[in-house]
Structure 1
Amino acid sequence: MKRNILILLSLAGVLLTAMPLVAHHAISAEFDSAKPIKFTGTVKSVDWMNPHIYVNIETKDESGKAVVYSVEGGPPNSLYRQGWRKDSLKPGDVVQVSGVRAKKAESNRIGTAQITMSDGRIFARGGGNNQQ
């Protein structure tokens, strides 16, 4: 009986530990697929760090006011394996962005994004043909 309880508690512990990992990778928990956004802007900075990189891009909002969006990218290791480097996107680069807005209205974060560079290369969060 004690053995069964110990096994049950161990299994419950493993399952509970896995929950935050699943939640972390649930894009729908942070971003709203019903709020697509597309714009052209200028790269201000690139934060190449784990667990995801962030590309900060400035554009103008509907009123003409400058706004900086923080576009979430994939993990540096995955991007590196796809041929991207820290200097692939540089401050001053003009890019087109397509993605979805964060659920929090006050946030300027963008997820599931695709960044198209002026030379046609595509920088995308997921795998696939990110460089053309």
Structure 2
Amino acid sequence: MNRFITSLAAAAVLALVPTASSAHHSTAMFEWGKEISLKNATVLRWDWTNPHTFLYVTTKGADGKEKKWAFEGMSPNHLTRAGWSKRTLKPGDLVDLTYYPLRDGRSGGFNVTVTFPGGKTLKQLTFD
């Protein structure tokens, strides 16, 4: 009986281990390597959150209508090492950015770079 309880407890622990490691989502929703530019974007919100940062911007289309965009980014820990901070972007900032688009065509993707009016560019992906 004691051996049965020990085996049952071990099985329960092993069943829970994959849950934590699979909590991070897939990145298959992005078209990696298909980098697109977005010019004259106005920052709506900059969320400095774990496990990913999020950048929300608006642009004006050719028809003059406002279009909202949402971009996922790297973790605050990674971005801090790359020169970013929670104060890097503020609502109302005008920026140019590059991103890997969402495969489903929605307005957004994975943010690659942000360029400020003075020409300073910050990268999200700093592995290279």
Greater fraction of residues in helix: 1
Which residue of 2 is the match for residue 82 of structure 1? 82
State yes or no: 1:103 paired with 2:99.
Answer: no
Secondary structure class of the residue paired with 2:32: strand
Amino acid at match of 1:38: S
Q: Which 5+ residue runs of structure 2 have no aligned equivalent?
A: none
Identical aligned residues as a percent: 23
The question of whether the paired residues in 1 share the 8 Å contact of 2:44 and 2:91 is answered with: yes
Q: How does 1:110-125 map to 2 (within 5 A)?
A: 110-125=109-124
Size of the aligned set, in residue pairs, is 124
Which residue of 1 is the match for residue 43 of structure 2? 44
TM-score by length of 1: 0.67
2:10 to 7, 10, 15: 7
Q: Which 5+ residue runs of structure 1 have no aligned equivalent?
A: none
The question of whether the paired residues in 2 share the 8 Å contact of 1:99 and 1:110 is answered with: yes
State yes or no: 1:20 paired with 2:23.
Answer: yes
Aligned equivalents of 1:34, 1:125: Cα separation in 2: 14
TM-score by length of 2: 0.68
Greater fraction of residues in strand: 1
Aligned equivalents of 1:35, 1:82: Cα separation in 2: 22
Aligned equivalents of 1:109, 1:55: Cα separation in 2: 9
- The alignment's C-alpha RMSD in Å is 3.0
